[in-house]
Structure 1
Amino acid sequence: MFLNRRKDGKLVKGGDPMMHIMPYVMRGRNESAVYYGKSFCVENVQEYIREKRREGKRITLFNVIVSALLHTLYRRPHLNRFIAGRKLYRRNTMDVLYVVKTLMTDEGVESIAKITCDGHDTIEEVTDKMSEHISYIKDGQTKSDDRLIEFATNLPRFLVRFALSILRVLDFHGFMPKSIMDNIPLYSSVFVSHMG
C-alpha cells in the first residue's frame, strides 16, 4: 500500500511482534532511552593510528569510531531501523551525521556533516569521506541544510512553528519529500557527538 512507502526506508513486516507494539506503548523517543558509562582500552587503536600516520595517512580516533559504527550497522542491520508514524522501517542507507565547527573557538559556527557508506568501506575510505566534508565546511562553503536552517531562523516564530507542524504530519504519514529529508540534518542511522 502506498501509505507505507517512505523515501528513507522500507516498512518492516513480520518479525517480533514486540518490536511492532512498542511505538504505541512508548510514544516518545526518550521513554526508551538508556544512558550508561563505559570505558574502553584504546591502546591498540592508538598504535594503529600512529602506524598509519607513519605511512602518511592521517586517521583519528573519531574516524575509527565512525568506521566501527558503520561496520556494526552493516553486520547488524536490525540496528539500522527507525520508527515513523508508529511503524517500524529499515533504513535504505547507512548514514552517519556529526557536527563540524568552522573554527575551534566559542564563536565557530557549527555545521552538520553527513557521510553515507555501504558497509564495505575501509577505514581509509571512511576517513577520506569525512575529511572531504570537513574541508568543505571549514573552507566556508555553505551547505543546503545550513541555508535552510538560516532561512527558517529568520522567519517569524509562528511561521516556523506552522511549517514544522506541517512537516511533522508529512513525516508521520510518510509523505515528507526527499529533498526536504536531505536538507534536515536528523535523518540518519547515527548522529555522533564528538566531545573532544
Structure 2
Amino acid sequence: MVLWFRPDADVVKDAPLVRRIQPFLMPTRNESVVYYDVDVDADAVDARLRSLRAQGVHATVLHAVLLGAVRSLAERPRLNRFVAGGRLWQRRGLWVSFTVKTEKTDRGAVLAMKRRLDPQQSDVELVRVLAGGVDEARSGKPTAIEKELGLLLALPTVLLGLLVGLVKAADRWGLLPRFFIDGDPLFASLFVTNLGAVGMDAPLHHLFEYGNVPLFCMIGQKRHAFFVDDDGAVRARLVYPLRFAFDERVEDGLYCLQSIELLKAHMEGRAPPSPSSSSSTAPAAP
C-alpha cells in the first residue's frame, strides 16, 4: 500500500472520483500530457522589464515568466499539485526550476537550477533570488548538482541503473528524504526553458517521468504575430510565444488554461481575467 505521507506534499483527499482514478488509467505523465500555446504581448512585458531594471536588477523574459508563474500558482493552488504513487498530492511551497546556458557557444553547458519562491516577496526580491541561481551556474565552479552527478556517473552502469530504480521506487512510496527532493530540479512546481535567448523557437516538450514536475514551459524567440482587433482589422504585434506541457491528471484543462491566462496577465502587467471569462491567446489590441 502506498504511504499517505511525503516530506514535500500532502495527499489530496477531496479530489473528484474521476480525478482519483486517472493515475491508474494513465499511469505515466507523457500519456497524460496536454499542450497549450499562448502569445504574450512583448511590448507590455518589455516595459515591465525596463521598470525592474530601473530598480537595479537584471530582469529578462525568463524572470517575467517565473514571476507570473509564482503569482498565478499562489492564486490558483490546485495547479501546484502532482501525481506520485497513484495519488494526487498538494505540494508544499512554490518551487521553480529553469535552465541556464553557461555561455552562448556549442561548448556552453546547459545547467538546471531550482529555487523556492515566496509569493509574498516583491518582484525585485524574487528576481534577486532567481539571479543567484544564474550567477551560480555561470560562476565556472561546479554546482552541487554537478558534483552529485559526477559521483553517480562514476558508478558501474548496472549499479547506477539499480540506484536510479531505487530512487524512483522510494519516490512512489514517499520515502525520499526532504533534502534529496529540495535539491533536485525535477521535483518542482514548474520547469521553464528559454530557447528564445539563443534565437530558437519553442518546440513541443515532453514531461519528465522521473521527479514530479507537472508543468513545463518553453519560451521562444520574440516574433511578430497577427491578430484581428475589435474593428475587424488585421494587425501585427511583437509577442513572446510560450508553449506549455501539462499533466492533465493534476487538474482539468479549463483550470489549467485559466491559470495560464492569469500568468499571461501578470506578465503583461494588466488586470487578471475573471476565471469565468472566455480566454484568448491573442494579445490585447492597443
TM-score, length of structure 2 as denominator length: 0.64
* Residues 168-187 of structure 1 aligned to structure 2 (within 5 Å): 168-187=168-187
For the 8 Å contact 1:52–1:58, the answer to whether it is kept is yes
Equivalent residue number for residue 30 of structure 1: 30
Distance change >3 Å, CA 54–CA 144, structure 1 → 2: closer
Question: Structure 1 residue 189: deviation in Å?
Answer: 0.5
CA distance in 2, matches of 1:104, 1:130: 19
CA distance in 2, matches of 1:79, 1:36: 15
Q: Give CA-to-partner distance per residue, 1:20-46, whole Å, 9 cap, x none.
A: 111111111011111233322221121
Equivalent residue number for residue 157 of structure 1: 157
For the 8 Å contact 1:74–1:118, the answer to whether it is kept is no
For the 8 Å contact 2:52–2:124, the answer to whether it is kept is no
Instruction: Tell me whether 123-132 or 83-92 shows the greater mean CA deviation.
Output: 123-132
Question: Structure 1 residue 160: deviation in Å?
Answer: 1.1
Instruction: Tell me whether 166-175 or 49-58 shows the greater mean CA deviation.
Output: 49-58
Query: Unmatched 5+ residue regions in structure 2?
Result: 197-286
Query: Percent identical across equivalent pairs?
Result: 29
Select the structure that is richer in strand. Answer: 2
Distance change >3 Å, CA 162–CA 96, structure 1 → 2: same
Equivalent residue number for residue 188 of structure 1: 188
Tell me the number of residue pairs that the alignment of Structure 1 and Structure 2 aligns.
196
Question: Structure 1 residue 55: deviation in Å?
Answer: 4.7
3-state SS in 2 of match to 1:36? strand
3-state SS in 2 of match to 1:38? strand
Equivalent residue number for residue 49 of structure 1: 49
* Residues 125-140 of structure 1 aligned to structure 2 (within 5 Å): 125-140=125-140
CA distance in 2, matches of 1:37, 1:79: 17
CA distance in 1, matches of 2:173, 2:38: 37
Equivalent residue number for residue 99 of structure 2: 99
CA distance in 2, matches of 1:56, 1:162: 48
For the 8 Å contact 2:170–2:176, the answer to whether it is kept is yes
TM-score, length of structure 1 as denominator length: 0.92
CA distance in 2, matches of 1:44, 1:26: 39
Question: Structure 1 residue 156: deviation in Å?
Answer: 1.6
Q: Give CA-to-partner distance per residue, 1:155-192, whole Å, 9 cap, x none.
A: 22111110011111111111112232233321110011
Equivalent residue number for residue 73 of structure 1: 73
Q: Give CA-to-partner distance per residue, 1:83-118, whole Å, 9 cap, x none.
A: 110111100110100111222211112222111112
One-letter amino acid of the counterpart of residue 21, structure 2: I
CA distance in 2, matches of 1:189, 1:90: 10
CA distance in 1, matches of 2:84, 2:7: 12
